[in-house]
Structure 1
Amino acid sequence: MNCTVTDYIYLVRIGYVHRALVNTNDSVADIFERHGCTNHHLSMKYFRNQYGCTPREHRKKEQSKYKT
């Protein structure tokens, strides 16, 4: 898999965070906390590496896709 255990765990968590960002209106902080991403700096690093933007920016992009 070419990644550490920590990398893998955070990638799985970030996947759940992504789904919650797109499907709920909960705050970004609440979503990260709910999915075990308690280290804010590290969580943001993994999210940016995975999606190329902040969670808030990503939510806006995803929600704008579905607006008519």
Structure 2
Amino acid sequence: MGIHYDYKSTKSAKLMEKQAKREKKLAEKKAKRLAKEGPKEEEPKAPTLDASKPITLDFLTNPDKK
């Protein structure tokens, strides 16, 4: 039996091993990068406008009123 007969029968197994190895390497890189960055801090969200209240000119122009 020559090498060319063996190639087709093991091709799919080799491809699956290669894909698993690639995914494992990417997962390790991602874990390392996340560990290096530290936990993500959420940005403080700006208060949203209430949809039931109308927007008035006073609301838009008065910077002191909250």
TM-score, structure 1 normalization: 0.28
Larger Rg: 2
Give the structure, 1 or 2, with the largest relative contact order (CA under 8 Å, sep 6 or more): 1
| TM-score, normalised by the number of residues in structure 2 | 0.29
Which structure has greater helix proportion?
Answer: 1
